[in-house]
C-alpha cells in the first residue's frame, strides 16, 4: 500500500494533489504527471480521463514541488533596452500576469544597446542568475547582437513587436503594415488627401512596415504621396516636433500628419500649437501605439492601439513552450503570432477645412 491516505497534522489547507487526481481517474500519479506535462506515451482515452478528473477536482500542480523534484523551469528573463516607461509598464503587467499563472519568476535586466561588451556582460548575468529563457520587448527583439548571443548560449527567446516575422526566433507582433494602412484609410475617409507621414527609427523593421502600409493605402485611395511629405523621425518627441515644424513651414502644408508613434504625434501637436494652429480644426494628427500618457494630453490623439499587455502574455506563454521543448530535447518550431490591433478614434482627427 502506498500511503495511509491524507492525515498529516500539518496540512492545513486541503489542496488536491496529484494522488487525488490519480485515484479519481483510476491511474497512477505518474500518468497524471505525464498528462499534465503534455508528455507523449499516454493513450488518448487515458489522457482524456485524467483531464476530466483534473477539471472535476479543480487540480492545480504545486509549483514548489515541481521545482523541488527537479523539473520545470522557473525563471524568465526580461531584457529591456530603452522603451518608454509607459510601454515597459504595460508590458510588465502582462508578462507578470502570465508568469504568475505559471508560477515563474520574472527577472528584469536593463541593457544598453550601444555597446556590445555590455550586452555580453548583461546576458551572462542573466544566465548566471538562472534564467531559462528570455523575452525581448522592442527594440531588443530586432537586435542582431543579442540574438547571436542568445543562440550561442542556446537560450530560448521570444521577440515582441518586430516589424516582420523572424526566421530564427518566435515572435509576437501586430501587423504594422495593416495597422498603418487602416489609419491612413481612416484619415482619407475623413476627407484628407494631403497627408504627411513621419517615419520611425530606421533601425526597426516596424518603421518600414508602417511606411509601406501608409503608402499602400494612399496609392490605393488614389492619393499621390509627395516626397516632401515623408519626413524622417526617430520615435521621440523632439524628432516629431522638428518633423512637423518642417512640414507646417511649407507653402502648402498637409491637412493631416500621421506620425509613426505617439511621442512624435505629441511633438506634432506641440508644433501645431506653436504656430497657432488648432488641432484638429487646422490640422489632424494621428499617432501609433496608444501610449497611455498621451491619452491624457489634450487634444487626445487618435492612434493605433497595440494590446501590449496581451502581447507580453503571449510572449511568455510561447517562451514556456520553447523552454519545455528544450528540456525535452526537442527543437520547437518558431511561431509568428500576430495579434489584432485596433484603431482608437479620439479628438485629434477631424475633417479638413476647405481651402
Q: How far apart are CA 123 and CA 117, in angstroms?
A: 10
Binding mask 29-68 for DNA (x = CB under 7 A): xxxxxx-xx--xxxx--xx-----------x-xx--xx-x
168, 274, 327, 353: which one contacts its own copies (CB under 8 A)?
274
Q: Which is nearer to its own copies, 145 or 292 (CB)?
A: 292
Cα–Cα nearest to 42, from 27, 60, 24: 27
Q: What is the Cα Rg of the chain in Å?
A: 25
Residue 33 near which of DNA, its own copies, none (CB within 5-8 Å, type-dependent): DNA
Which grid cell sits at 134? 528570455
CB 47 within 8 A of CB 33: no
Identity of the residue, 28 or 84, whose beta carbon is nearer to DNA in the bound complex:
28
Report in angstroms how near the CB of residue 185 gets to its own copies at its nearest: 29
Closer residue to its own copies, CB minimum distance, 61 or 208 = 61
User: Which grid coordinates are listed for 221?
Assistant: 485611395
Please state, in angstroms and rounded to a whole number, the distance separating the CA atoms of residues 254 and 259: 13
- CB 309 within 8 Å of CB 97: yes
| Residue 106 CB, nearest approach to its own copies (Å) | 6
Q: Does 11 bind DNA (CB under 7 A)?
A: yes
- The DSSP letter of residue 302 is B
Question: How crowded is residue 43: how many other Cβ atoms within 10 Å of its Cβ?
Answer: 9
Interface pick for DNA out of 54, 72, 158, 301 (rule CB under 7 A): 72
In the complex with its own copies, which residue's Cβ is closer, 70 or 251?
A: 70
> Choosing among its own copies, DNA, none, which partner's interface includes residue 34 (Cβ < 5 to 8 Å by kind)?
DNA
CB of 106 to DNA, least distance (A): 21
Phi-psi region of 320 (alpha: psi -120 to 50; beta: other; left: phi over 0): alpha
Stretch that binds its own copies, among 176-184, 206-214, 293-301, 335-343 (CB under 8 A): 293-301
Tell me the three cell numbers of residue 209.
Answer: 512596415
238 sits near its own copies (criterion: CB under 8 A): yes
What is the C-alpha to C-alpha distance for residues 52 and 59, in angstroms, rounded to an integer? 10
Contact 174, 160 (CB under 8 A): no
279 Cβ neighbours under 8 A, 6+ residues apart: 269, 272, 273, 285, 299, 348
Element (H, E) at 106: strand 105-110
Question: With CB cut-offs between 5 and 8 Å by kind, which of its own copies, DNA, none does residue 24 bind?
Answer: none
Applying CB under 7 A, the span of 19-27, 98-106, 279-287, 339-347 interacting with DNA comes to 19-27
Give the shortest CB-194-to-its own copies separation in angstroms: 25
**SS3 call for 232:** strand
Q: Is position 237 an interface residue for its own copies (rule: CB under 8 A)?
A: yes
Distance in Å, CB of 328 to DNA, minimum: 9
- Which listed option, its own copies, DNA, none, makes contact with residue 263 (CB within 5 to 8 Å by class)? its own copies
H-helix or E-strand containing 174? strand 170-174
Q: What is the dihedral of CA 64, 53, 310, 156, to 10 degrees?
A: 50
Residues that bind DNA (CB under 7 A): 2-3, 6, 8-11, 15, 17-19, 26-34, 36-37, 40-43, 46-47, 59, 61-62, 65-66, 68-72
Residues that bind its own copies (CB under 8 A): 10-11, 62-65, 67-68, 70, 74, 84-86, 88-90, 92-93, 96-97, 100, 103, 105-108, 236-238, 241, 263, 266, 270, 273-274, 276, 291-293, 296-298
Amino acid at each position: 500500500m502506498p500511503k495511509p491516505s491524507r492525515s498529516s497534522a500539518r496540512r492545513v489547507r486541503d489542496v488536491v494533489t496529484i494522488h487525488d487526481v490519480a485515484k479519481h481517474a483510476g491511474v497512477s500519479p505518474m500518468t497524471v504527471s505525464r498528462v499534465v506535462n503534455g508528455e507523449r506515451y499516454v493513450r488518448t482515452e487515458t489522457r482524456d480521463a485524467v483531464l476530466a478528473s483534473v477539471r472535476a477536482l479543480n487540480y492545480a500542480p504545486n509549483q514548489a514541488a515541481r521545482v523541488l523534484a527537479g523539473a520545470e523551469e522557473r525563471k524568465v528573463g526580461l531584457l529591456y533596452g530603452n522603451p518608454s516607461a509607459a510601454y515597459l509598464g504595460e508590458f510588465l503587467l502582462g508578462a507578470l500576469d502570465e508568469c504568475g499563472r505559471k508560477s515563474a519568476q520574472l527577472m528584469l535586466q536593463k541593457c544598453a544597446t550601444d555597446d556590445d561588451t555590455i550586452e555580453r556582460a548583461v546576458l551572462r548575468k542573466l544566465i548566471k542568475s538562472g534564467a531559462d529563457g528570455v523575452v525581448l520587448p522592442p527594440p531588443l527583439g530586432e537586435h542582431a547582437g543579442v540574438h547571436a548571443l542568445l543562440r550561442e548560449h542556446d537560450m530560448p527567446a521570444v521577440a515582441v513587436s518586430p516589424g516582420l516575422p523572424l526566421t530564427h526566433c518566435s515572435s509576437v507582433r501586430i501587423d504594422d503594415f495593416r495597422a498603418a494602412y487602416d489609419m491612413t484609410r481612416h484619415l482619407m475617409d475623413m476627407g484628407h488627401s494631403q497627408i504627411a507621414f513621419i517615419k520611425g527609427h530606421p533601425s526597426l523593421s516596424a518603421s518600414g512596415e508602417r511606411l509601406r502600409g501608409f503608402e499602400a493605402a494612399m496609392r490605393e485611395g488614389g492619393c499621390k504621396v509627395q516626397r516632401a511629405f515623408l519626413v524622417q523621425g526617430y520615435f521621440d518627441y523632439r524628432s516629431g516636433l522638428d518633423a512637423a515644424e518642417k512640414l507646417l513651414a511649407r507653402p502648402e502644408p498637409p491637412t493631416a500628419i500621421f506620425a509613426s508613434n505617439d511621442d512624435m504625434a505629441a511633438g506634432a501637436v506641440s508644433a501645431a500649437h506653436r504656430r497657432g494652429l488648432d488641432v484638429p480644426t487646422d490640422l489632424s494628427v494621428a499617432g501609433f501605439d496608444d501610449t497611455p500618457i498621451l491619452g491624457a494630453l489634450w487634444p487626445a490623439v487618435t492612434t493605433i492601439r497595440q494590446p501590449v499587455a496581451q502581447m507580453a502574455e503571449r510572449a511568455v506563454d510561447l517562451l514556456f513552450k520553447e523552454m519545455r521543448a528544450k528540456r525535452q530535447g526537442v527543437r520547437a518550431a518558431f511561431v509568428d503570432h500576430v495579434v489584432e490591433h485596433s484603431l482608437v478614434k479620439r479628438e485629434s482627427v477631424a475633417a479638413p477645412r476647405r481651402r
